[in-house]
Structure 1
């Protein structure tokens, strides 16, 4: 189900991001380029993290940046994957450093639920997240999304 929303064109593997804001913007870049979200969606994601702290970190090493579903700045429910070799720090707490980030944008509260169930099941497997974070190619990362 994740492959339905995260195509190969929406996967990036990079060495590092300047900071978490840069990482969120990089994660959203493929979705912007494909016309699936508007820049204001990423601005809302960043504002929410600034206001609420790193609530998007669902598990050590993994973050799910998102804003409220159903915003008019989301044209189609979509996700993107950003893998960084150097951890992205969301705060001074070492537990708030991530190497795997899936950006979520949804047109409503339900369109992404199947993918979220799949993601939660995968996140239960520590080995899966480790393999994803160490993927050497987009093809390898994409295969892990099955």
Structure 2
């Protein structure tokens, strides 16, 4: 299964500045909530976990993968890509500002292994990450993601 089949039109390019953690998380889940792929409880679970243990979903400099447990409110396996043109501070001491986030909504712990593998491949490709961060349109982001 390609990443694009899970992303569909769930690409957000945000030009907002000085976002709070909660405001940034709201943006990373906006499309998934709008289409009913996740419940509001899923977003709240991410925020709650952040309060408890910090930015567990910031994987590397510039990159985050917000997610919670499937039972926290996933209705349909899906992904949302968010590009923060001005960076978002998720309070990750080790990794700094996030410019590229992929929100993961998985139906169960096993079925998203292929998705994680494809995302891992993408996250390791610095030139594609930089190209996504530099993109100005959803189409530009989509063209890059077609490879995965």
Alignment TM-score > 0.5, same fold: yes
Structure 2 Cα separation of the partners of residues 92 and 120 of structure 1: 20
Q: Which structure 1 residue ranges, 4+ long, deviate > 2 Å from structure 2? A: 92-96
Which residue of structure 2 lines up, in the alignment, with residue 12 of structure 1? Answer: 12
Deviations 1:54-85 (A, max 9, x none): 121111100000001x3151111111011011
SS in 1 for 2:110: coil
Structural RMSD (CA):
1.5
SS in 2 for 1:99: strand
Deviations 1:73-131 (A, max 9, x none): 11111110110111111227372310111111111012222111011011111111111
Structure 1 Cα separation of the partners of residues 16 and 94 of structure 2: 16
Which residue of structure 2 lines up, in the alignment, with residue 64 of structure 1? Answer: 65
TM-score, structure 2 normalization: 0.91
Unaligned runs of 5+ in 1: none
Assess if the C-alpha contact under 8 Å between 1:63 and 1:100 holds in 2. yes
Query: Alpha carbons of 1:109 and 1:87: their partners in 2 closer, same or farther (altered >3 Å)?
Result: same
Q: CA deviation at 1:3?
A: 0.4
Which residue of structure 2 lines up, in the alignment, with residue 32 of structure 1? Answer: 33
Structure 2 Cα separation of the partners of residues 92 and 127 of structure 1: 23
Unaligned runs of 5+ in 2: none
TM-score, structure 1 normalization: 0.92
SS in 1 for 2:13: strand
Which residue of structure 1 lines up, in the alignment, with residue 139 of structure 2? Answer: 139
Number of aligned pairs? 144
Structure 2 Cα separation of the partners of residues 92 and 61 of structure 1: 10
Structure 2 Cα separation of the partners of residues 113 and 4 of structure 1: 15
Structure 1 Cα separation of the partners of residues 92 and 104 of structure 2: 24
